[in-house]
Amino acid sequence: MSIKILHIDSNNPILMQQLQELGFENHEDFISSKEVIESKIQDYHGIVIRSRFKIDKHFLDKATKLQFIARVGAGLESIDCEYASAKDIQLIAAPEGNRNAVAEHTLGMILSLFNNLNRADREIRSGHWNRESNRGHELDGKTVGIVGYGNMGKWFAKKLRGFDVEVLCYDIKENVGDAHAKQVSLAELQKKTDVLSLHLPWTPETDKMVDTAYINAFAKPFWIFNTSRGKNIVTADLVKALQSGKISGAGLDVLEYEKLSFETLFQDKTTPEAFQYLLEADNVLLSPHVAGWTFESHEGLAQVIVDKIKKLYF
């Protein structure tokens, strides 16, 4: 039987090329609406997505022949995973493909923010040579707390090996700590952490997790970095903590306001007050959800998906 795969998002060319070489029949539709895709999904055994739209119950009920859903990315929150699993549909993600990119980006944000690199660059370009106001902080001697110790968290911990830091991790799973991070309770992590890095999926448990109560549970002022999902942080509460000094600075690759597709920031033209503060704050560093989106990871994600699909059938 020929396995027909529908690709609804563009990806690295090696993905379709290698699947073709393996004997899969590939079709692409990068522009049709969800309704149009639903009208023909019954003809396909597999679908390859990024984040164009949600794969919900209605979609899955239309996909009567579907055997797998492959997401070219780390998370599966755009899919009704429980319903798909109940229909014996295999779910494939590729966190191995961009974990190094995310880890390097996180470290880069920390070093940039600690040393005021972006602000200093802007000032020099404007003709200002301000040394004292751009005095930085050193990472050595700090305690780094990692919340979420899966693929991304573990690779970030590896990147910290060259620094004289204590690395702690907290995860809902037991026994995930390793030589690079000591697993501790959330209470201990909040007691000791100077630098907090989030590497979490977006789930009902993590949605709006970092709020005022969560922030105030930390014993010391701390820096926060989020390269996971924007909705894991309540932005208004983050801003209050930045204003009070409870949070010393923030590096955010993801924002609470993102649309699912990641292609645009806001669903309307208004700028939330909390986001306006982030735009103007010197101790905030922003990037457009690109931590895992390097040239190398673009190929790596595709390769992981090919390898996992191949494993299903060969």
Are 70 and 89 in contact by the 8 Å Cβ rule? The answer is: no
Look at residue 264 in the predicted model and tell me its pLDDT: 62
Buried b (16+ CB within 10 A) or exposed e, 52-87: bbebeeebbeebeebbbbbbbbbbbbbbbeeebeee
pLDDT number for residue 17: 97
Mean pLDDT of the 105-125 span: 97
For a pLDDT cut of 90, what percent of the chain falls above it?
92
pLDDT given at position 270:
77
pLDDT by residue (tens digit) across 69-96? 999 998 898 899 999 999 999 999 999 9
Residue 106 CB neighbour total at 10 angstroms: 27
Which of 36-40, 172-176, 264-268 shows the lowest per-residue confidence on average (mean pLDDT)? Answer: 264-268
Lookup result for tokens 């009920």 = 61
Sheet (strand 195-198) strand order: 182-183, 166-170, 143-147, 195-198, 222-226, 247-252, 284-286
Give the pLDDT band of residue 170 (cuts 50, 70, 90): very high
Split at pLDDT 50, 70, 90, the class of 52 is confident
pLDDT recorded at residue 258:
86
Counted residue by residue, the chain has a size of: 314
Coil/strand/helix, residue 155 = helix
Q: Residues 261, 52: contact at Cβ < 8 Å?
A: yes
Average pLDDT, the chain: 95
Is the pTM here over 0.75, yes or no? yes
pLDDT, residue 268, reads 63
